[in-house]
Structure 1
Amino acid sequence: MSVIHNTEKQSKQKLTLFAITWPIFIEIMLHMIMGNADTLMLSQYSDDAVAAVGVSNQLLMVIIVMFGFIATGTSILVAQYLGAEDEEKAIRFAIVSIFANIAIGLLLSIILLIFSEPLLRMMNLPPELMADAVIYLQVVGGFSFIQALIMTIGAVIRSHGFTKDAMYVTIGMNIFNIVGNYLFIFGAFGFPTLGVTGVAIATIISRSIGVIVLLYLLYKRLDGNLHFSFLRTFPKYEVKSLLKIGIPTAGEHLSYTTSQLVMTYFIASIGTEALTTKVYAQNIMMLVLLFSVAIGQGTQILVGHQVGAKKLEEAYSRCIRSLKIAITVSLAMGIIFYLFSNLLFSIFTSNQEIIATGSLLLLLTIVLEPGRAFNLVVINCLRAAGDVRFPVYLGILSMWGVAVTVSYTLGIYFGLGLVGIWIAFILDEWLRGLIMLWRWRSRKWQSMSFVKEKEKKQHA
């Protein structure tokens, strides 16, 4: 274990917000580019194909939430135990989480493979989009267990401070995905022209290569110290701890994702053009959002280490400083993207109604994204400190009581369409964000660390 200790000591010395966050930023940006590449390439093939893949991805987001509850618990527990200098316990949590997500991933993959068409019907998908959407959901969803592994192993590697590793893997995955899209969508170099099916195949191939490389990096970074002998008996403590964080976190993410599904249902009832506009707008908005996402994830790792080491004042200040950065950057990027909105939408489509409506949505995004920054940063800090239930209770109340209710009232009942639904997004994000900030300032999280003082002394 001395080798691991030396490795961790070296990584901890580099744990500054910038050192941890910039690779996360690049990694998330590349993930988003991968989604945008699919959308951009498919937009040259068919606007209907874009809408079909967009709705399928909404359902896949629900599945990713299921994987995320283990990955999030892993990230927090590994970070806290590394902060408490208990590397052995951190590795045990990593191993248990990988096996747990493989099991969950296989089960959900089978469900998506069998029930893809009934699930899409529940989304009120227009009939002309059904065939493409089913194919995409069956192929990508049927292999979604690969994504479960990517998320879990990536969480372990990032929590150890090796955020560059995950970034490099994502770069490679993007290259394979874009090349695969080009070959299968456009039938280049004699490959068959497969459209949506080709995009799905390219996605699976790139993810499969990515998970193989991540497994190798995990083994290398932990110097081969992946001991499985403790699994001879059921790892009750590790599973219980993972579920203690994961289930509430999954509840919040699941509530958000399902509320988004309901609002996608509302948009689908408006028409295919509205659905396509929403897909294009959210793909562009993701490029604004990624700054806050990266800062939030990087801050979560830092706060987890600081809370594990009982450096509570440092953790408190770190969250506030990160929040100020995230708000400033998201506001500035929102303004820039709005100023170039016509140009950005014209990359995807020549439909002037989609461009006009999409530009209006980006104007509203200037108000939306600073509010979202509160949630992405402060909620991650609360989780990292062990305060995992409060965000869930408030999130469910706001997402359904504000976002869904107001989106239907303004968007459908009063006929404001996508503009009304975007206003609902704004109200939800700002309400939750300000209350989360109040919760952080209350300092109730300071007594919620998963690494207790007694346990820390035992492993000293």
Structure 2
Amino acid sequence: MSRTDRKLTLFALTWPIFIELGLRMLMGNADTLMLSRYSDDAVAAVGVANQLVMVVLVMFGFVAMGTGIVISQYLGAGERQKASEVAVVALGANFLFGLLLSVVLVVFGRSFLTWMGLPDELMAEALTFLRIVGGASVLQALMTAMSATVRSHGFARDAMYVTLGMNVLNVIGNYLLLFGPFGLPVLGVLGVSISTAVAQLVGAVVLFIILLKRMDGKLPFGCLIRFPRYAIANILKIGIPSAGEHLSYVSSQVMITFFITSIGVLALTTKVYTQNLMMFIYLFSMAIAQATQIVVGHRVGARDLDTAYQTCMRSLKIGMAVSFVMACLFSLFRAPLLGLFTDQQEIIAVGSTLVLMTILLEPGRALNLVIILSLRAAGDAKFPVYLGVLSMWGVAVPLAYLLGVHLGYGLVGVWTAFIVDEWLRGLMMLWRWRKKKWQGMSLISALKAEKGLAG
């Protein structure tokens, strides 16, 4: 058994992914928490600008999503050379696409923020963050592709260590540039933006070095000259539908954020603080979903479909149970936790209600995450996007406007829309998984054809 094979268990993959995701969320929360000591308006401005950055991350993230799944299936089928070629093609494609989208954010950032209804008093700081952090999005594009490759080979801890280092650099940079010790200038949002971009640059360089080491320096960069069509075709086969589902979700969140800006800056700030806490609640669900995706991909590639099915169902039970327990724990300490971000009682009161509502929200989100990623890993990438677009734009967005704005329930109405959307999609995804149509949608048929085994 190879070193990679020994690592492909749910637990061995879940815990480093859990820590890595936690560190990534801490990186964003560190910015929010440290900015909250500087200005609540700065928090709101960065929160809105970051919505646009997230849209861009999703747009080039589809290559990384497809990469991880395709590599997992090829490794499961014993096609290691093809897995390496897929990794190289993904790096090249994500670099070009990430560079293009970074330019778009820098050039059209003000227009996007204006369209989102950002108040004029927040525009300057939001634009500063968007131009620096958004302009550095190409680094995130490269890192997502490299991280997907490293994880699919079983080295999930490597990405965790890189993220840890990025967090340390980011916090130190924030402290130096936001609070001005040792006589340094206080740069506010500009300082946080520079700190974030520098941490990402260092992380990208280190992760690339690690990738070369883990692949024994055998990444076939020469294949970019002939550009193997099968590699990009398989990546896009999984990645484009996956991107559609992600993009639909993030863009629907942007639309809902637009509704919240119409309620007021206080509501927008409350949303940012509450969602920062919610990130920690669904952290384990995301970790086990990503670990499950890798294991299911390998099992499907090895044609062990029964194990793939049971792996998803076992992960689903664990993810939903842990999400419920964590939501309950956060609800018990909701006021003190929100108090870490702000001392405004109105924000704490409304945010506390929203945290209580996560007891209903998060198990539904866990249901969604685990099954959607398992469906993608098995090659069934189109159904999640079709259902996602229908539910997000047919249920979540109109219901958020109806309850939150039209009927005047504010953020409580918006969170109610989130709950309905997550559970509706989750139950439909469960039905799809249990029907087992995904068993005939993997890359196995393509692998047979390439080997001359297909009839």
- Give CA-to-partner distance per residue, 1:131-166, whole Å, 9 cap, x none: 100000001111110010111100000000000000
Is 1:266 aligned to 2:259, yes or no? yes
Instruction: Report the CA distance between 1:457 and its aligned residue.
Output: 5.0
> For the residues of structure 1 that align with 2:33 and 2:288, how far apart are their CA atoms?
27
> For the residues of structure 2 that align with 1:85 and 1:49, how far apart are their CA atoms?
51
* Unaligned segments of structure 2, at least 5 residues: none
Counterpart for residue 231 of structure 1: 224
- For 2:174, give the aligned amino acid: N
Counterpart for residue 201 of structure 1: 194
**TM-score between both structures, scaled by the size of structure 1:** 0.97
Instruction: Report the CA distance between 1:31 and its aligned residue.
Output: 0.4
> For the residues of structure 1 that align with 2:306 and 2:16, how far apart are their CA atoms?
26
% same residue: 60
- For 1:177, give the aligned amino acid: N
RMSD of aligned residue pairs (Cα, Å): 1.1
Is 1:87 aligned to 2:93, yes or no? no
- Give CA-to-partner distance per residue, 1:55-88, whole Å, 9 cap, x none: 0010111000112100000000000000001100
> For the residues of structure 1 that align with 2:138 and 2:7, how far apart are their CA atoms?
32
1:454 to 438, 443, 448: 448
Is 1:248 aligned to 2:213, yes or no? no
What is the total number of aligned residue pairs between the two structures? 452
1:401 to 394, 417, 438: 394
Instruction: Report the CA distance between 1:458 and its aligned residue.
Output: 5.6
> For the residues of structure 2 that align with 1:234 and 1:14, how far apart are their CA atoms?
31
> For the residues of structure 1 that align with 2:171 and 2:222, how far apart are their CA atoms?
41
Is 1:130 aligned to 2:118, yes or no? no
1:48 to 32, 41, 66: 41
- For 2:67, give the aligned amino acid: T
1:380 to 345, 370, 373: 373
Q: Is the 8 A contact 1:170 1:210 kept in 2?
A: yes
Instruction: Report the CA distance between 1:11 and its aligned residue.
Output: 1.2
1:364 to 354, 357, 368: 357
> For the residues of structure 2 that align with 1:333 and 1:231, how far apart are their CA atoms?
46
Instruction: Report the CA distance between 1:456 and its aligned residue.
Output: 7.3
> For the residues of structure 2 that align with 1:192 and 1:140, how far apart are their CA atoms?
20
Secondary structure of the structure 1 residue equivalent to 2:118 = coil
1:210 to 190, 200, 203: 203
Q: 1:297 to 1:456 in 2, by over 3 A?
A: farther
**After the TM superposition, which of the residue ranges 243-252 and 279-288 deviates more from structure 2?**
243-252
Q: Is the 8 A contact 2:375 2:433 kept in 1?
A: yes
Is 1:416 aligned to 2:409, yes or no? yes
> For the residues of structure 1 that align with 2:436 and 2:152, how far apart are their CA atoms?
24
Counterpart for residue 58 of structure 1: 51
2:101 to 105, 108, 124: 108
1:329 to 322, 325, 333: 322
**TM-score between both structures, scaled by the size of structure 2:** 0.98
Instruction: Report the CA distance between 1:235 and its aligned residue.
Output: 2.4
> For the residues of structure 2 that align with 1:381 and 1:456, how far apart are their CA atoms?
25
Counterpart for residue 304 of structure 2: 311
**After the TM superposition, which of the residue ranges 224-233 and 151-160 deviates more from structure 2?**
224-233
Q: Is the 8 A contact 1:84 1:456 kept in 2?
A: no
- For 1:14, give the aligned amino acid: K
1:33 to 26, 30, 35: 26
Counterpart for residue 3 of structure 1: none
> For the residues of structure 2 that align with 1:294 and 1:234, how far apart are their CA atoms?
33
Instruction: Report the CA distance between 1:126 and its aligned residue.
Output: 1.0
Moved over 3 A (4+): 455-459
**After the TM superposition, which of the residue ranges 9-18 and 248-257 deviates more from structure 2?**
9-18
1:286 to 255, 279, 299: 279
